[in-house]
Amino acid sequence: MKSRRHIVLVVTGVLVAVLASAFVVLRWDSADKIATAASALAGVAGVGVALWAALPAARSAVRARETGATRARGGGYANSGIDAPAGDATPMEVSRTGDATAGDGGQAISGILRRPR
């Protein structure tokens, strides 16, 4: 499948070709009116794209499912779930995570841990 960027580029090229053909075929008065309308539409579209680009993107959820078992030893850290920064507001979900075990001073979690970085 072609990328969206490629499709946008092709559509833009086709629109430019259609407008150029219309300007060649039409008389000056008609071409002038079409050029004015096309410029106005392009300006409104540009403002819309700029506003869209300025809005923050929706964050998708993070999921950990059916992970394997982990083990920490000697002050190590084991995680079979999700480890995220404390201020991260991303929706998170864990299910059927593997066993997380710690020995010899290690730390282990199998759920969600939000900790300062």
Residue 1 has pLDDT above 70, yes or no: no
Average pLDDT, the chain: 86
Residue 111 has pLDDT above 70, yes or no: yes
Residue 6 has pLDDT above 80, yes or no: no
Q: Mean of the pLDDT values across residues 2-21?
A: 80
Q: Indicate the domain borders of the chain.
A: 4-54, 62-115
DSSP 24-40: HHS-HHHHHHHHHHHHH
**What's the pLDDT tens digit per position in 42-89?**
888 888 888 877 877 777 889 999 999 999 998 899 999 999 999 888
Here the tokens at position 93 are 């979900």
